[in-house]
Structure 1
């Protein structure tokens, strides 16, 4: 059986594993938002950044990409993703149904936020998010790079996220 991974943030532009197929997909019941403080990759303990996570919100859906893992690489891909995504246990690994644009529904590996984790910060006003993202830097680089790459990639594939688009414009203003 094929292994699928749902990408909604950095997995859109930096999956880090061999992808055999990618299809635009929708994950019902979850919203993409900057609701996780990043203390490793895009910020530090002293000055946390923000990264995207999927927050369970009834009546919403997140559009992203379903990525089919190259056959024969499933084990190493799962190991890689767990090392990357579960660095601080703020994400929970789930297998959820993703509705793909071509009509298929697949079970995909999805990393969603643990709303009980101390890195969870759902509900921050967009202006506060912009102020944090504009300044934070972590082990994988500036928080701005993460935002700009994600917003750019969503636009390239024709997916719109009004909050992300607003943040992209506002953080560019702040960084002038």
Structure 2
């Protein structure tokens, strides 16, 4: 498992880069080169497990459930914006998200935790795509999740890693849909006596983001400025390094 540091703000020159917004498995397993990763959110959406998957987290006979964004004028979705590097990143994402995943791409506005907003490329599923599964209650979706496995691993891993990521990095935001689904999935795993270790896989290709502690002496601090130790600040520690995993 690779390790990277999250950062909360973007420099002016960084905005010239192409940025991709991650709100699902891209948060913890991007699979492409990037030179910076920044926490923040997009507005006007909600995250929902309404998209089916038959290549990475399920099969044609048993489609898995993965996250997408659906429009909601009052909605807000936390995630990570990655500054893309390397010519292979966009073709890789197009195949992973569009060709295999059924997602469409569009640009939206990203709001970092600190600094000015900027445009990001986001992949989201439309209800017209062939893999669309749509709305259902958490118990039904959880039943589908615990019964599905694909080439990239078990569908349970997708849900649990995403919930852990959001809890670790966005503790002030409660995602009702995601956390209710996680609760139902864990209850089913327990009742079925499934082995969580085997469901979660070995973490190959995943990124463990760490919080960078900022040390500031009182003499250097501006009036009213608080030390930001423990905040999410990310700058990719392994710059230019190609991550190994190419799957969802």
Task: Tell me the TM-score normalized by structure 1.
Answer: 0.92
Is residue 2:97 matched to residue 1:82? no
CA distance in 1, matches of 2:66, 2:101: 14
User: Higher helix share goes to which structure?
Assistant: 1
State the alpha-carbon separation in 2 of the partners of residues 137 and 51 from structure 1.
12
The CA distance in 1 between the partners of 2:94 and 2:130, in whole Å, is 19
Q: 117-126 vs 45-54, which deviates more?
A: 117-126
TM-score by length of 2: 0.66
Verify: 1:141 aligned to 2:158, yes or no. no
**Which residue of 2 is the match for residue 63 of structure 1?**
78
- Which stretch of the first structure deviates more once superposed, 144-153 or 157-166? 157-166
Residue 105 of structure 1 and its aligned partner are, at CA, apart by 1.0
| Structure-2 residue corresponding to 1:125 | 137
Instruction: Give yes or no for the alignment of 1:53 onto 2:68.
Output: yes
Report what 2:22 is aligned to. 7
Equivalent position SS for 1:155: helix
User: Residue 186 of structure 2 is aligned with which of 161, 164, 172?
Assistant: 172
Partner of 2:176: 162
Q: List per-residue Cα deviations over 1:125-147 (Å, max 9, x = no partner).
A: 11111111111111111100111
Q: Structure 1 residues 28, 155: CA separation in 2 closer, same or farther (over 3 Å shift)?
A: same
Q: Kindly report which structure 2 residues correspond to 1:83-98, keeping only aligned pairs within 5 A, or say none.
A: 83-88=95-100, 90-98=102-110
Query: What's the RMSD between the two structures over aligned residues?
Result: 1.4
Question: Which protein is richer in strand relative to its size?
Answer: 1
Deviations, residues 6-63 of structure 1 (Å, cap 9, x unaligned): 0000011001122222222211111111010111111111111100011122321211
Where does structure 2 lack aligned partners over 5 or more consecutive residues? 1-15, 191-248
Inter-partner Cα distance in structure 2 for 1:156 and 1:33: 19
Secondary structure in 1 aligned to 2:185? helix
* Distance apart, 1:122 and its partner CA: 2.5
Q: Which has the higher contact order (CA 8 A, sep 6+)?
A: 2
Corresponding residue of 1:106? 118
Unaligned runs of 5+ in 1: none
* 2: CA distance, partners of 1:156 / 1:79: 30
Q: Which has the larger radius of gyration?
A: 2
Stretch deviating more after TM superposition (80-89 or 100-109): 80-89
Deviation of 1:95 (Å):
1.6
Equivalences, count: 173
